[in-house]
Amino acid sequence: MNYSYVSHLYCPKCSKTYSTEEENHLCTCGSPLLVDYKLEELSKALAPGDLVNRQPDLWRYHELLPVKSEENKISLGEGMTPLVEFPSLGGDMNIPHLLMKDEGIIPTGAFKARGAAVGVSKAKELDVKELAMPTNGNAGAAWSLYAARAGMSSTIVMPIDAPSITRNECALSGANLFLVNGLISDAGKIIAKAAEEKGMYDVSTLKEPYRIEGKKTMGLEIAEQLNWQLPDVILYPTGGGVGLIGIYKALNELQQLGWVSPEQKLPRLVAVQSKGCAPIVEAWKEGKHESSFWENSETIAFGINVPKAIGDFLVLDALYETDGCAIAVDDKDLLEEQKQIAQLEGSFVCPEGAASFLAARQLRKENWIKENEQVVVLNTGAGIKYPDTVDIEVPILEPGDSLYR
């Protein structure tokens, strides 16, 4: 029984294959690479019931991850985040079977930890000593902290407007941290140049093939937590879209393994964006398979401020293949939704998560989501990472004061 059933890397565009035994980034054709597994072999060796005794973290699916030797595993206990029923909010939006997958309950407080854990572990297996990446904040925080745990150094460039707490995380990890007076695309150019000059391992979104594998565990967990019965709809706040690509990949692998029956229809996947940065929504509306660069993008949901995602075609394919859709929401309504979620369900979600709940509400109104459908919304991070989105005024008392006079 192998620790990993990884087989090889392949290009989803031109089908060229690559080895997982050496550093590989993009295909020669420019496309991101995906990881393939020996699923038929694995289906004979492992059954869902075998997972029961394993730790409640994402490494419980190690056969479906690319790390071959357990000793390369770099973990802070990430994964198996709660899947929580939201009956009150669900009642309010007339979706009785509404669930939240809460990716705030994970090291670094954001789903980025999954990609970082698996990506850094694989980088260690490939003997990488130094990695580099541009980030909107949370990914840089996660990768630099996991890199530190692996004894690897890291160079991070983030926009000056990225959430300030993520700066602290990078800096505290000992990363070489730089801010750029621009967008993540500007940060990306600086990193690409530096990586080339210094031979650093570039782990920019999808320039590194293993981050998806970490993120796909969200899909594996949703399936396991629902006892291998898939929900009807999954909504995902979409910037780079790696999480959505990963969930789609996971569901397909589970079908191929026979862990979910092939008669089960895959959930309709929904890419949620902000009206201030909606390239995927625009492309989907026009039935296109690639998006165009979104000029002057702006949204308070900073994690989904990605004007052009390198994996856009994979996101769009996942939407088309599952009869899903893409939808953009208003920033101002999003903050109202965030408040509703806290007051009805006691959860302080991040703006990106709030955007996805708001999208569910809109899609229910349009009857795209039917009343009795089971709907899973991904909250991709903890609201506490974005203190500035909450605007409050609080009365101040002196010692000895009384609340009621």
Exactly one of 197, 263, 286, 295 binds its own copies (CB under 8 A); that residue is 197
x/- letters, 44..83, toward its own copies (CB under 8 A): --------xx--xx----------------xxxxx-xxxx
x/- letters, 167..186, toward its own copies (CB under 8 A): xxx-xxxx--xxxxxx---x
Between 140 and 243, name the residue whose CB sits nearer to its own copies.
Answer: 140
Those residues with Cβ within 8 angstroms of residue 276's Cβ, 6 or more apart along the chain or in another chain: 297, 298, 299, 305, 331
Structure tokens at 78: 């990430």
197 Cα distance to chain centroid: 30
Between 56 and 258, name the residue whose CB sits nearer to its own copies.
Answer: 56
What is the DSSP track for 309-353?
-TTHHHHHHHHHHTT-EEEEE-HHHHHHHHHHHHHHH---B-HHH
CB of 6 to its own copies, least distance (A): 24
Those residues with Cβ within 8 angstroms of residue 212's Cβ, 6 or more apart along the chain or in another chain: 34, 35, 115, 206, 242, 245, 246, 249
Exactly one of 160, 258, 289, 371 binds its own copies (CB under 8 A); that residue is 160
Between 303 and 311, name the residue whose CB sits nearer to its own copies.
Answer: 303
Site for its own copies in 232-261 (CB under 8 A): none
Site for its own copies in 112-151 (CB under 8 A): 145-151
- Measured between alpha carbons, how far is residue 324 from residues 1, 245, 269, 289, 327 in Å? 37, 13, 5, 14, 10
16 binds its own copies, rule: CB under 8 A: no
Site for its own copies in 342-371 (CB under 8 A): 342-348
Rounded distance, CA 399 to CA 404, Å? Answer: 14
- Residue 162 host element (H or E): none
- Measured between alpha carbons, how far is residue 364 from residues 105, 126, 128, 323 in Å? 27, 46, 47, 16
* Binding piece for its own copies, criterion CB under 8 A, among 259-267, 286-294, 315-323, 382-390: 382-390
* Binding piece for its own copies, criterion CB under 8 A, among 189-197, 212-220, 279-287, 363-371: 189-197
* CA end-to-end span of the chain: 72
Rounded distance, CA 124 to CA 265, Å? Answer: 38
Structure tokens at 279: 């390239």
212 binds its own copies, rule: CB under 8 A: no
Between 1 and 396, name the residue whose CB sits nearer to its own copies.
Answer: 396
Between 94 and 168, name the residue whose CB sits nearer to its own copies.
Answer: 168
CB of 339 to its own copies, least distance (A): 6
CB of 177 to its own copies, least distance (A): 5
Between 167 and 249, name the residue whose CB sits nearer to its own copies.
Answer: 167
Largest CA distance in the chain: 76
Between 19 and 87, name the residue whose CB sits nearer to its own copies.
Answer: 87
- How many residues lie near its own copies (CB under 8 A)? 81
385 binds its own copies, rule: CB under 8 A: yes
Between 122 and 249, name the residue whose CB sits nearer to its own copies.
Answer: 122
Structure tokens at 220: 């594996």
Q: What angle is formed at CA 157 by the lines to CA 194 and CA 172, rounded to 5 degrees?
A: 120
* φ, ψ dihedrals at 346, nearest 5°: 75, 20
**Three-state DSSP class for 234?**
strand
Between 73 and 249, name the residue whose CB sits nearer to its own copies.
Answer: 73
Between 162 and 359, name the residue whose CB sits nearer to its own copies.
Answer: 162
Site for its own copies in 88-117 (CB under 8 A): 88, 102, 104-109
229 binds its own copies, rule: CB under 8 A: no
66 Cα distance to chain centroid: 18
